[in-house]
Every structure is written in C-alpha cells, then in structure tokens.
Amino acid sequence: MDLGIRDKVFMVAASSKGLGFGIAAALASDGAKLSLASRSADNIEAAASKLRETHGVGVRGYTFDATDAGSITEWRQKTLADFGRIDGLVVNAGGPPPGQFDSFDDAVWTRAYELTLLSAVRMIRAVLPAMRSRRSGSILTVTSTSIKEPIEGLLLSNVFRSGVSSLVKSLSREISKDGIRINNLVPGRVDTERVRAIDAVNAGRRGVSPDEQRQAEEANIPLGRYAIPSEFGAAAAFLLSDAASYITGATLLIDGGQTKSLW
C-alpha cells in the first residue's frame, strides 16, 4: 500500500531507539523526511545516520528535553528552518516512575505531569500553527495500555496517560476543521531494550531467569509473543498517513489482544 507520505516531514520525539525509532524507520521506509529528537546528541545522531544509510531519505537529529517548553519550541523552529514544513508529529516521552500513592510527594507528581501530560500539550501546541497554515497534518501520541486498564504499581502513568487520551479525543473535534487529525497508539509488550530491562527486573524479583519471565508474559498474550518494533512502527505510519484520512480521535491497540477492555 502506498501511504502517500513520500517527502512529507514528520517530527518524531524520543526516537533514538525503541518505539520512537521503530516509528521513524517505518516512515523512512515509505520515503518520508524525518526530524528526530532525543535527550542524547550522540544517540539521536546515530539513529539519524542509520536511517539515512538504510533508506536514503532526509533525516536530521536534534536534542531536546520533553519537559522544557523552550526546548520543544526550538525543535519546532529548527525543523521548519531545515525542512520548510511539518506534516506530522509523533508525541512520545519516557514514562514516569513506578510506585504506590503514599510514596509520591508533590514534586514527583509535578515532574510526572510535566513529562507525560504537559509535554504532549506543548508538542501539539508547537506544531499546530504550521499545520493550520497548510490546512493539513496528522498527530499521533504514543501512550500505554494503562489508559484502558490501570496497571498496578504505575499510578502516575495511569493518571497522566489517561489525561493524554482525553486531550486527544477532545482536541480531535477542535482541529478537524483545520484539516488536522490526531490519534492515540497504544503499545502492548514490544521487544525493545526498555521492555527487556523491565523483564529482567521482574525476573529478579520472582527469582526466575529473564527467559522464564518473558515466557510468563507471553502466556498472557493471545497471539503468544511480543511485537517487534517494526510492527508497531507500521501501525503508526498508517495512522499518520493519508491512508488513514478518515480516522481521528481514535485509539488503536498494538498489544496482540492482551488488553481485555471493551472500549
């Protein structure tokens, strides 16, 4: 399928590795141009170089801090200066720390809010003027299954990622008149460094090997395995593309059928 994204420009946050890089790779494979951003200058340049070499497309890497409004604005300005347009945005950031309610003071709540919810608000706000000027654009947030089923021990994620989901649904009605779509993409267990690290920690707590921990996790997934990043990336590229031109305000789960929520 031709997604209609060749030479379009997509900003992808937190894209030096993991899910963000998987999305960037999928977009690049269809000829899109990419503005990548990450905290680490070395990591983001390595990711950009790999995509340029593999797909031969225009890719630039920038450093940014998802919790800093000025940093997000600077990323937007550099993207426009280097590419001249913005056709799509992937909102992505690291998750807040795990823990129970009694372990979080106001400072922890504030940091989680800035990282998970306010960063989404700021990234979206940053790109809307450029998209409105062209009367087109697509925005995608990478969120969590916690918006469907709260995850034990991830209270901060449960609260603020649900806020992102509500933002997307509400905003989809406001910006549709400007020709802009916005959707949520929800990963289940995708085989990334972060998920493998989480499995290793959980394996240690249970006194089992990482392989045994993974087998236990896969037993709870109807499709019986973890996703690979390219599968997640392909779904993201579709939602960002013209092939999904009648989809907005939606939430798509890429979880192998694991989430039991009906909605």
Residue 60 and residue 30 in contact, taking contact as beta carbons nearer than 8 Å: no
> What is the pLDDT tens value at each position of the chain, 263 positions in all?
789 999 999 999 999 999 999 999 999 999 999 999 999 999 999 999 999 999 999 999 999 999 999 999 999 999 999 999 999 999 999 889 888 899 999 999 999 999 999 999 999 999 999 999 999 999 999 999 999 999 888 899 999 999 999 999 999 999 999 999 999 999 999 998 888 888 888 888 899 999 999 999 999 999 999 999 999 999 999 999 999 999 999 999 999 999 998 88
As a three-state string, the secondary structure of 60-117 is EEEECCCCCHHHHHHHHHHHHHHHCCCCEEEECCCCCCCECHHHCCHHHHHHHHHHHH
Residues 90, 36: Cα–Cα separation, whole Å: 10
Report phi then psi at 208, rounded to 5: -125, 175
DSSP E strand boundaries for the chain: 9-13, 33-38, 59-63, 88-91, 137-142, 180-187, 251-254
Fold of 9-188+228-253: Rossmann fold (3.40.50)
DSSP, collapsed to helix, strand or coil, labels residue 251 as: strand
pLDDT at 161: 96
pLDDT at 154: 87
Q: 32 in the Ramachandran plot: left (φ > 0), alpha (ψ -120 to 50) or beta?
A: beta
Q: In what order do the strands lie in the sheet containing 33-38? A: 59-63, 33-38, 9-13, 88-91, 137-142, 180-187, 251-254
Q: How many CB atoms lie within 10 A of CB 108?
A: 14
**Domain limits, the chain:** 9-188+228-253, 190-226
- Does the predicted model carry a pTM greater than 0.85? yes
In a 10 Å sphere around its CB, with 0-12 CB exposed, 13-18 middle and 19+ buried, how is residue 72 labelled? buried
